[in-house]
Structure 1
Amino acid sequence: MIDPRFYRLLGPKSLRDMAHLVGAPCPDGYDPDLIVTACAPLHEAGPQDLAFCQSPPKGGGSIVTQAGACLVQADHAGLLPHEVAPLVVKEPRAVFAKAAQGLVARRDFDPNGAAIPASVKLEDRIVLGRGVVLGEDVEIGSGTTIGPNTVIGPGVAIGRDCRIGANVTLYCALIGDRVTISSGSVVGEAGFGVAPTAHGPIDVPQLGRVILQDEVSIGSLCAVDRGAFGDTVMGIGCKIDNFTQIAHNCQLGRGVVIAAFGGISGSCEIGDNVMMGGRVGLGDHIQIGAGVVIAAGSGVLSSIPAGESWGGYPARPLRQWMKESVLLKKMATTKNETSSKSGA
């Protein structure tokens, strides 16, 4: 669901207007005055939402959605529920990206507005550094300190006793109590979502949020992207070191520790008390079980069961990786010794 604290709905639009906007024929047998107000993924869309289906479900079967209208390729239109109006296009994902821009826009700063608008809600004992800019409807809890030149976008809520450093940027975020965000970090900007087209890739709008629960700590120069539609979430007590990237729709459990230069790709799920060494990278849509330990420099390309220790590139169980490393060293040493004797 689109959170009105962070986004403006630009509609409503009729099915007729929406068909014209996306370059699709208005489907026969459907009310051309059907109202479309927003956009959503297939499984979350309601009767007044626009959704898209890039490919049919694996294994066949019908497309499951409650959307009012759905962008779909011609061969898949018959897989939609009868009550869902099909808008037939060649590239549903790319067209959806363009259509979303006509339905929803992120709230932004009034260029002629005050640095601290009247709609801002500030509790007691708050310290605002020089050059701080707050958007409309920002809320900040008591005892929180905001460093110089920090920018906090419309609708952002920050809890009590937080420490926000200098030159931090916050958008589309709900932040708990006793959270620390160090200087230069960016939380809640758009994630990296692109759709290929015949004319090159285009950006897919990112319309979700970031939720940082209590006692999260984020180092300097980190980036935490907001969700594409849902939320990017960090659980209670997560500790994120400097220069770390958390991509859109990632879900971190409680007490996750990520050392410097970590890179977590989109839609990863990380369980409670996971520990990652420096320069660990995760591919997208990977699940890391609770209590997992990942050695520094590892590249994780598959899910890891709870309680295991992995390392290497591609990452594998730690003992296996160490045995393979020892074996390779022995093979290399033997080869070098053989070559030396042959040369002698």
Structure 2
Amino acid sequence: MTEKDRAMIADAARRLKPLVEGARTAALTTHVSPDGDGIGSEICLLGYLKTHRIVARIINTEPLAAKYRFLDPDGTVEVFDAAKHDDFLRASDLIFMLDNSATSRMGPLEPVIRASRATTVCIDHHNVHEPFWKVSIIDPEACATGELVFQIIKAMGGQVDRNAAQAAYVSLVTDTGYFRFSKTSPRCHEAAAEMLAAGVDPPRVYEEVFERNSAALLRLGGVAMADLRQEEGGRLAWVSLAREQVLRCQAEAEDTSDIVNDLLSIDGVRLAVLFKELDDGLTKLSLRSKGDLDVNRLASRFGGGGHTNAAGAVVTGGLDETIRRVLRSCRELLKQPA
């Protein structure tokens, strides 16, 4: 870890510790469609807060995906229900938003979080800054938000047990593509080594997260790949999934991110796109890239965001219309000088 990294984490710990020490209640949440980094960050931080005898609850917009349920054997992660959770959220001393800075990605939690008396704390590694958060800790150098949470807990003098380390490790491996994306760094591997020393079992994590695919997802991947398109001399690859195809495969609840990731394995592909038709005239857009092709900036044009090499958005518009609009921008991106 560099001196700059150490200074940033020390400053974050200095700002957070008095807030934690003065709190009796806290809510933790993440962006809509929670992923491995958001969930891992929540579970890692929850353990630390409970050591301070804080009544802390994880409240998300959707239930845990099957591949992440092993992180929460006691079922502590709750799905937001205004009737059950509004009073707690409004009265909480702290609300932590993890792995997300954009208020637009709070989903149905946004109104009650805005109305809460809580000190709102954002911890994130996306390079997005919004003035809403009373305390904002953003570290774009972190390979995952869970890695940042792990480091801050240690800097505050906390102990990270095996369960918390396992959650942070899931954050780390899912957001780095198991140490192959561009943000994989010496600091990332140092953190992973510490997590393993705390008792994390890498084969078990890999099996739970990456080898629990359903037959429905594999069928859906086959449908998508059967109509694979390539453009721009093979540098752009894209697939689309109509609503009817998803329903026919009984894959409505499946995470389709691995489908778009597989497109990058094609020789010569630098930019990959998955278009997935949703209800109500919406289309989900998943973008992946290699090198310095910045799909985060591309996604931001359509109201989304993410990282340089992995981003997404939910676009208002039908499938065919969205494909035309987004591919135009993809072609422009590929024509920009390196």
Q: Which has the higher contact order (CA 8 A, sep 6+)?
A: 2
TM over 0.5: no
Q: TM-score, normalised by structure 2?
A: 0.29
Q: Which has the higher strand share?
A: 1
